[in-house]
């Protein structure tokens, strides 16, 4: 009897492991964002010419750590640039999404414009929180999208 209990426990454990691997492939972890339209990205980079070697300026993170199966947010009616922040190797702009400055996790909605290789785009969260200045009016358009978090 003990043999069958151990055997069933082993099989159940293997099934759970396989299911978890399949689920991870089917519904990977990532983040929801608003991808800027090509015209919006062009206008953004014309107003704020990149200062650093890696040009980003392509999306606004909406929610980090979601899965592919999560419902995407609605298309925003208004995306407005409301601030600019820059240090010696990273620059970004603060934006509002339909009048909201902060995401549900408390971070400010922003777009990383450009950076040096030693900086990570997520460092824009701290930069835009602590040292932004007002920016002139600029309205953008974006579409909801899901991006997979790539492990390095």
pLDDT digits (tens, 9 = 90+) for 71-124: 999 999 999 999 999 999 999 999 999 999 999 999 999 999 999 999 999 999
Domain annotation covers residue 119: yes
Domain annotation covers residue 14: no
Q: How far is CA 133 from the centre of its chain?
A: 22
Q: How many helices (H) and strands (E) does the chain have?
A: 3, 8
Domain annotation covers residue 22: no
Neighbours of 136 (CB within 10 A): 8
- pLDDT exceeds 90 at position 8: no
- pTM (2 d.p.): 0.80
State the average pLDDT over residues 25-37. 85
pLDDT band for 152, please (50, 70, 90 cuts): low
Residue 1, CB-side half-sphere exposure with 13 Å CA sphere: 0
Predicted confidence at residue 136, as pLDDT, reads 84
Domain annotation covers residue 4: no
Domain annotation covers residue 99: yes
Domain annotation covers residue 38: yes
Predicted confidence at residue 28, as pLDDT, reads 79
Question: What domain range is 121 assigned to?
Answer: 29-148
Closest CA to 58 of 85, 38, 87, 79: 38
pLDDT band for 20, please (50, 70, 90 cuts): very low
The answer to whether 145 touches 33, Cβ cutoff 8 Å, is yes
Which residues contact residue 145 at a Cβ distance below 8 angstroms, ignoring those fewer than 6 apart?
A: 32, 33, 34, 35, 59, 72
pLDDT band for 16, please (50, 70, 90 cuts): very low
Number of domains comprising the chain? 1
Neighbours of 29 (CB within 10 A): 13
């Amino acid at each position: 009897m003990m043999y069958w209990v151990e055997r069933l426990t082993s099989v159940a454990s293997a099934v759970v492991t396989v299911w978890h691997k399949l689920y991870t492939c089917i519904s990977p972890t990532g983040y929801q964002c608003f991808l800027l339209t090509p015209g919006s990205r062009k206008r953004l980079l014309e107003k704020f010419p990149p200062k650093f070697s890696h040009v980003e300026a392509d999306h606004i993170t909406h929610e980090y750590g979601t899965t592919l199966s999560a419902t995407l947010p609605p298309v925003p009616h208004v995306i407005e640039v409301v601030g600019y922040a820059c240090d010696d190797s990273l620059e970004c702009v603060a934006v509002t999404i339909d009048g909201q400055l902060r995401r549900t996790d408390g971070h400010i909605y922003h777009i990383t414009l450009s950076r040096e290789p030693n900086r990570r785009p997520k460092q824009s969260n701290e930069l835009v929180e602590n040292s932004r200045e007002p920016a002139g009016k600029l309205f953008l358009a974006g579409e909801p999208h899901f991006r997979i978090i790539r492990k390095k």
